[in-house]
Structure formats: structure tokens, C-alpha cells
Amino acid sequence: MMKCLTYFTTDNNRIDIQNTFFGLVSIYYNGSLVSQKHSLFGICHTFQIMENGISALYEIIVGSKFSFNIGFDIYKNGKPLLFS
């Protein structure tokens, strides 16, 4: 596994995005695996989690960006947290 990104939310929750050379993308939330999918060109991961007693829906888009770099977009309850 190759770690691609670590992101901390405003509530100090940790999201890790890992990728393999074979296209397996894994999403971890505070160390727990919450989504895992295969993709070579891009994929959207969604997961729902409880934060401080409130349900939060995350959408993480992993895909190719300009000049063949990997990009990450993270949304929480439809609101953008990170664009790359």
C-alpha cells in the first residue's frame, strides 16, 4: 500500500487514502477501513459515520488530474472540504 493523503477534519478526525499500483483504493476513517474499491482512472467512495452523535455522509473522489497526478476531492454532507 502506498499512502496518498492524510486529511484531518475540523473535528480532528483522520481520513487516510491509500492506493496500490494495481488500482485498489482504500479509505480509512480514524484507522478503520470504511471503503475499498478498484479503479485505474477514478472512483467515488461514499460512507456514513457518526460524529459526536450526528450522522455524517462523506464522499471522496479519487481520480486523475492534470499532468497525470492523482487528485482528491472530499465532501462532508455535500459541502466541500478539500479540492486538489
Any residues with CB less than 8 A from the CB of 79 and at least 6 apart, and which?
Answer: none
Residue 64 confidence (pLDDT): 73
Asked whether 28 and 36 are in contact (CB, 8 A), the reply is no
Under the banding of pLDDT at 50, 70 and 90, the label for residue 19 is confident
Domains defined along the chain, listed by start: 2-82 (2.40.128.180)
Paired strand residues for 17: 5, 27
The yes-or-no verdict on residue 39 having pLDDT over 70 is: yes
The reported pTM is: 0.88
Average pLDDT over residues 9-28: 91
Residue 67 confidence (pLDDT): 62
